Chain A
Amino acid sequence: DAGVTQSPTHLIKTRGQQVTLRCSPKSGHDTVSWYQQALGQGPQFIFQYYEEEERQRGNFPDRFSGHQFPNYSSELNVNALLLGDSALYLCASSSGLAGGNEQFFGPGTRLTVL
């Protein structure tokens, strides 16, 4: 099991563009969460998907949207990119929604907005 995988590894975009990041959860996991980690900061929760629905959302604008597919993989979409969206985007997977579960993190996608 490769664990949580994310693609691409790095991405460079310009302001105003749109971007899609992808995540495959660890085998056996059905819940996917996305985090944004700016330089020098801890990860910040964006949203969480379970059973193809957004279950929890952090304090991020509607420009950030996502999707979960029947195979539990997930996408994070960001529209109208701003310079401040430059960050490492982490995907984490877990099992169920009971809470307090261990989150397994992917290696992240480094997004640079110019």
Chain B
Amino acid sequence: AQRVTQPEKLLSVFKGAPVELKCNYSYSGSPELFWYVQYSRQRLQLLLRHISRESIKGFTADLNKGETSFHLKKPFAQEEDSAMYYCALSVYNTDKLIFGTGTRLQVFP
């Protein structure tokens, strides 16, 4: 079965602290994984995808096929990082996305 699991509903940290948002997936094929973010009063938008292997707003995510994980990391959290983060898996050769339940990140000053 295709599934994305985000075990934490809420993650609270202080500004400057490291952040790791966990994401595990279940997929029989070769996965394409994404992190989408929703800031307050804004629409859902792409943060990063594993195939581009880039850092966006200081965030990085590495695909670990052995552990079937795609955790999102940032070494020093900023208050403007406070948002809802969704990990998503793209079904092969389609744009169908399977989302996790999301993790709300709160960064306190």
Answer yes or no: are A and B bound together in one complex: yes
Residues of A within 8 A of B (CB): 3-4, 31, 33, 35, 40-45, 48, 55-56, 58, 90, 92, 94, 97-108
How far is A108 from B38 in the complex, measured between Cα atoms in Å?
A: 12
- Select one of B51, B95, B98 contacting A103, CB under 8 A: B95
Residues of B within 8 A of A (CB): 4, 6, 32, 43-46, 49, 51, 86, 88, 90-102
B97 contacts A43, C-beta separation under 8 Å: yes
A44 contacts B99, C-beta separation under 8 Å: yes
Q: A42-B100, A90-B44, A97-B93 are in contact. List 9 more A-B contacts (CB 8 A).
A: A40-B101, A42-B88, A42-B101, A45-B97, A48-B94, A56-B94, A92-B97, A97-B94, A100-B95
B51 contacts A43, C-beta separation under 8 Å: no
- Chain B nearest CB from A66 CB (Å) reads 14
